[in-house]
Structure 1
Amino acid sequence: MPSIKYKYSFLFLIIPLLCFSQVKEVDPPSFIKTINFKGNTAETQLPILKLGEYVVLEFDALNGNEDDYYYKIDHYNYDWTPSILVKSEYMDGFDNQRIRNYENSFNTHQIFSHYKLTVPNEQTKRLKVSGNYLLSVFNNYDELVFSRKFMIYEDQTTVGVSIKRARDIQFIEEKQRVEIIITSNNTQINNPTQTVKTVIVQNNNLNTALYNLKPQYTLGNQLIYRYDNETSFWGGNEYLFFENKDVRAANTGIRAIDLQELYHNYLFTNVERATKPYTYNPDINGNYVITVLDAEDPSIEADYVWIHFSLQPTEALINKNIHVYGNFNNYVIDESTKLVYDERNNVLRNAILLKQGFYNYKFVIVNKNGSLDEGAISGNFYQTENNYKVIVYYRDLGARYDKIIGLGEGSSVNISN
């Protein structure tokens, strides 16, 4: 009997930990490519949409099996722990439905099936409340294939966002600071230091987002945030880019083309930029756009191409853990993005299978402790143009879930002191 008591005690201790752990996005297997997740804007991977708007998920399966896939939608708290709402409280209709809209590729070397899901739809009629959501895709065996986060907000506040240089002299040339003014229009915000939480996202990348920011002080119906270190981001550098909408001809950033079983595009070799002066180079902040020349529907007519990245290493970089980084795979770092040193040619190389289009990318270092150093190769400059989104959460006293009551956006293109 003592052993049974011990087991039950252990279960009571472990169950709360499982129930309230933060959810993380699950990365897809290697045959699932080009996950394009967006609202009513061109930006992909992090849809933040107004209550009542639609969200679109597209992806390609390269295994040629024409498999069936199903989706589920779950609601989460501000900190990405599961909310206590049941499905009927945040959804009209049903999820766990098959993704019915899919087409096979047309006139491509790489065979694939293109899937497209729009929510709301006939089965999932409406998402009724604001907040954090997770859309998960499952296969026929109810195995999770991948998942993606998105947010829905209510337009109840005005969120002013301005980008300043860091106040800390040590980082004044390298960091950008976000100042926020939240104006509650007709919304009564009670006890804001406890009920309001703010998240700042740079370039749609949740991996580097700043959480749990509380207002410094209140001025009338305004909440003021004028922090320094707490709201500072590394400036980074403009992303590198290439375009291969025509795989048979020279394009921006591509130095050579080869056709084997699939097309191979070899990019110009890049150099480290951390020790060089900042140069303005317009980019799309790490994003990508699928496009193909002389085709009506890029989603099924754009082909897959092996893109060969290369970096000229300095002596200090040869033994570093260096990866290709960008929104093309939701900023994931794994073995498929790692550069390998070619001793014969003194160059770091990697090849990634990507769909035709326009892509932003940069090279980053992963430290031994797993932390990411985005500026070690590209550099950090306060002049860099970055996009910032500020998401405002509110849970009134006695409320059962975290609403999103405002969204603000700012760019560092006009950064000031």
Structure 2
Amino acid sequence: MVLQFKLFMALLCLSFFGYSQVKEVNPPNYIKTISFKGNTSESQLPILRLGESFLLEFDALTGNEPDYYYVIEHYNYDWKPSNLAKSEYLSGFDNQRIQDYRNSFNTYQIYSHYKLQIPNQQTRGLLVTGNYLISIFNDSNELMFSRKFMIYEDLVNVGVSIKRSRDVKFIDKKQSVDIVINNSNFNFNNPLENVKSLIVQNNNLNTAISNIKPQYTLGNQLVYKYASETSFWGGNEYLYFENKDVRAANVGVQYIDLKDIYHNYLFINTPRINQIYTYNPDINGNFLITAVDTDDVSIEADYTMIHFALQHPELTNGESLYVYGNYNNYALEPDNQLHYNSESGLYEVAFKLKQGFYNYKYVLTDKAGLLKEGAISGDHYQTENNYKVLVYYKDLGARYDRLIGIGEASSIDITN
């Protein structure tokens, strides 16, 4: 009886964990500069047409050329594992060692730069659309990090337009996403149940809006014109700095210092929550590796210690302050958490970043850990944001959610 009970509990645990929603795992602090994009895209959230290739690059700051392996898995819309066998969605093999790597050259910080392109000789391609997760393991089979990506078929036309909030209370702070899906060449069965959409702002899956169903149908169109369900906080333009020359202060850098590596001290920032909107062009949280006097920035760009400082009264109600951007996958972790320095009266944090141009933003979490992205930067309807809409469909009896179309728009064209 005891053995039967243990077997039952084991099966129950396997069932629970096997069907829980997967989340991205962020890397340890010796793995940096994860760049994940399609072959023609600068986005850090690859959304690829079926058959296109993608490129994953990262640096290991260990100095001993460790071996890393990759595994690719297929998921449904809700990021639970699909019912497909690996041979049904992947041509070739995964769980292979990343063979393309080179060591840094002429840098203070020693690192190894890894590059993985799919398709390759072992992994010849991905066969179906939908959600995917690529996981990187070390040679002890320990998970280093994972990243989500999507593959789509261009079967429906997805029209996206950005409007000011229809809720008068938030008309100056929120942006609403209207969607029209034209399916004249694709037959939907029960679209109100089988069609699901995902709306992503600035490639940040952490703040994406999911489980949005069509509001109504109009001929061959599915229409979404919600008052609040598809609204995002407008946020503010990202702050930025550039340190392509480590020997001289550049954009956003107040002064530099050479210790074991170069240290870059950024100008002190102040909260923008009560300031009016000011147009300040950014790249929507993204980053670009760049360095002067180099032939190959992937191995010749150096790492510097970036010092962030925010002038803000000390928090006393259990809130926390972080600095983030696409460079760290919008993570809220100890490495990028600011701490109050009673001597300077500033919130400060420092960590290593590769030379380049970076967007960043200060955000706050309350004592329950809930993100309040605009608590420091403010929210404005005029802010330029990028929006992507992904449309999934699962027909009756189908074994996985297909990604059948995407649409994209910028709030630079926002209307009332």
Question: TM-score, length-normalised on structure 2?
Answer: 0.98
Shift in Å, 1:144: 1.3
Matches within 5 A, 1:262-411: 262-314=261-313, 320-411=319-410
Shift in Å, 1:246: 0.4
Amino acid at match of 2:238: Y
Residue 102 of structure 1 corresponds to 101
Matched positions, count? 416
Cα offsets for 1:360-412 (capped at 9, x unmatched)? 00111111111111111100101100000000001111111111000100110
Q: Secondary structure at the match of 1:64?
A: coil
Inter-partner Cα distance in structure 2 for 1:153 and 1:14: 33
Cα offsets for 1:23-46 (capped at 9, x unmatched)? 111111111100101113443431
Residue 241 of structure 2 corresponds to 242
Amino acid at match of 1:277: I
- Gapped runs of 5+ residues in structure 2? none
Do 1:201 and 1:388's aligned partners in 2 also have CA atoms closer than 8 Å? yes
Residue 118 of structure 2 corresponds to 119
Residue 11 of structure 1 corresponds to 10
Do 1:49 and 1:153's aligned partners in 2 also have CA atoms closer than 8 Å? yes
Amino acid at match of 1:97: Q
Amino acid at match of 2:160: V
Amino acid at match of 1:211: S
Residues 72 and 319 of structure 1: is their aligned pair in 2 closer, same or farther, counting only changes over 3 Å?
closer
Inter-partner Cα distance in structure 1 for 2:380 and 2:401: 35
Inter-partner Cα distance in structure 1 for 2:373 and 2:137: 33
Whether 1:31 and 2:5 are equivalent positions in the alignment is no
Inter-partner Cα distance in structure 1 for 2:398 and 2:324: 40
Inter-partner Cα distance in structure 2 for 1:41 and 1:411: 19
Whether 1:200 and 2:199 are equivalent positions in the alignment is yes
Shift in Å, 1:63: 0.5
Shift in Å, 1:130: 0.4
Shift in Å, 1:16: 2.1
Shift in Å, 1:357: 0.2
Q: Secondary structure at the match of 2:229?
A: helix
Whether 1:172 and 2:177 are equivalent positions in the alignment is no
Shift in Å, 1:349: 1.0
Shift in Å, 1:318: 9.8
Amino acid at match of 2:413: N
Amino acid at match of 1:408: G
Cα offsets for 1:156-208 (capped at 9, x unmatched)? 01100000011111111111100000111421111101111000000000000
Matches within 5 A, 1:192-231: 192-231=191-230
Do 1:156 and 1:185's aligned partners in 2 also have CA atoms closer than 8 Å? no
Amino acid at match of 1:409: E
Inter-partner Cα distance in structure 2 for 1:317 and 1:392: 43
Inter-partner Cα distance in structure 2 for 1:336 and 1:22: 25
Do 1:200 and 1:209's aligned partners in 2 also have CA atoms closer than 8 Å? yes
Amino acid at match of 2:39: N
Mean CA deviation greater in 180-189 or 117-126: 180-189
Do 1:318 and 1:341's aligned partners in 2 also have CA atoms closer than 8 Å? no
Shift in Å, 1:8: 3.5
Amino acid at match of 1:324: V
Q: Secondary structure at the match of 2:5?
A: helix
Identical positions, percent: 63
Cα offsets for 1:307-347 (capped at 9, x unmatched)? 11111114668974111111111001111111111222211
Residue 184 of structure 1 corresponds to 183
Q: Secondary structure at the match of 1:336?
A: helix
Amino acid at match of 2:155: Q
Inter-partner Cα distance in structure 1 for 2:114 and 2:10: 40
Amino acid at match of 1:416: T
Amino acid at match of 1:204: N
RMSD: 1.3
Amino acid at match of 2:280: N
Q: Secondary structure at the match of 1:339?
A: strand
- Gapped runs of 5+ residues in structure 1? none
Inter-partner Cα distance in structure 2 for 1:408 and 1:69: 35
